[in-house]
């Protein structure tokens, strides 16, 4: 009897399919499917899957994201995008700059109508460093995701008033606006001379709403059962267990 493997099927109808793809194409590579099926999914695997749901579940999940960010948006017709793919699809990528937040929520078929910008952080550190950004950092040259994704250095689109949501461990709720001690901490001011960057991060943090990863999971569990909900939890829950949040 054939072994039951790859219970996760990226060609299922509740996942986005691009009209230009050939029959066997999917949003998710075989290697990614393999990792997910073995319970070894990475943060990127999880965010990618969450951004690719369509149909009723895709709408509901986007609605959950908006609710978690406190965005009061009428209607139910939303799309989620992987950030980097949204940049290309919307034609707003800055040549030579590769960074982008994990997920972008837009009104359906109004790709330029961005409703929410999301970064998902499990236990990973905030990416950043000296020379991280040609726009932010000033004389000291330091920037990171907290600062840059709150600002508009990663796209030619005007995203100044779009809400930002960091989804991280629930225990981080009161730590650095939900980013945890993963960006610049006070000690870094003296240790690395990051006073300007610390101040930039402090004001950037005010632009971020926070939601807990387990809160997101609970909200997905509250939705009525479907194959799509099963897949979302199949990818999300073992990852949360494994990283211990
Ligand atoms: Zn920047």
**In the structure, what pLDDT confidence band is assigned to residue 139 with cuts at 50, 70 and 90?**
low
Task: Dump pLDDT digits (tens) for 13-53.
Answer: 999 999 999 988 999 999 999 999 999 999 999 999 999 99
Residue 161 Cα, ligand 1 centroid: separation in angstroms? Answer: 16
Give me the residues paired with residue 53 across strands. 15
Ion ligand 1 nearby residues (CB, 5 A): 133, 135-136, 143, 148, 153
Looking at residues 201-213, what average pLDDT do you find?
96
> In 10 A of CB 90, how many CB atoms?
18
pLDDT at 24: 86
Whole-number Å distance between alpha carbons of 50 and 178: 20
Nearest-5° angle of CA 210, CA 212, CA 213?
Answer: 130
128 membership: H or E segment, kind and range: strand 128-130
d(CA 60, CA 145): 27
Report, as an integer, the average pLDDT of 203-211.
95
Distance of CA 26 from the midpoint of ligand 1 (Å): 32
Q: Which two tokens stand for residue 117?
A: 């910008």
Block residue for tokens 């959950």: 64
Question: Alpha-carbon distance 139 to 193, whole Å?
Answer: 11
| Structural contact between residues 197 and 184, judged by C-beta atoms closer than 8 angstroms | yes
Ligand 1 center to 149 CA (angstroms): 7
């Amino acid at each position: 009897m054939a072994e039951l493997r790859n219970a996760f099927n990226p060609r299922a109808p509740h996942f986005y399919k691009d009209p230009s793809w050939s029959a066997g194409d999917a949003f998710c590579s075989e290697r990614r499917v393999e990792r997910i099926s073995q319970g070894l999914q990475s943060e990127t695997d999880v965010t990618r899957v969450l951004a690719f749901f369509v149909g009723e579940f895709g709408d509901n999940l986007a609605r959950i994201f908006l609710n978690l960010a406190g965005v009061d948006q009428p209607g139910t017709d939303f799309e989620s995008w992987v950030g980097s793919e949204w940049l290309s699809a919307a034609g707003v990528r800055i040549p030579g700059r590769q960074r982008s937040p994990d997920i972008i929520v837009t009104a359906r078929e109004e790709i330029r109508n961005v409703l929410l910008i999301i970064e998902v952080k499990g236990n990973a550190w905030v990416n950043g460093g000296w020379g991280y950004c040609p726009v932010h950092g000033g004389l000291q040259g330091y920037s990171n995701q907290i600062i840059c994704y709150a600002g508009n250095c990663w796209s030619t689109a005007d995203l100044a008033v779009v809400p930002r949501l960091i989804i991280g461990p629930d225990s981080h709720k009161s730590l650095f606006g939900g980013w945890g001690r993963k960006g610049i901490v006070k000690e870094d001011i003296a240790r690395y001379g990051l006073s300007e960057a610390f101040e930039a991060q402090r004001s950037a943090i005010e632009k971020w709403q926070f939601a807990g990863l387990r809160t997101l999971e609970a909200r997905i569990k509250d939705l009525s059962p479907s194959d799509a909900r099963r897949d979302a939890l199949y990818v999300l829950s073992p990852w949360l267990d494994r990283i211990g949040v």
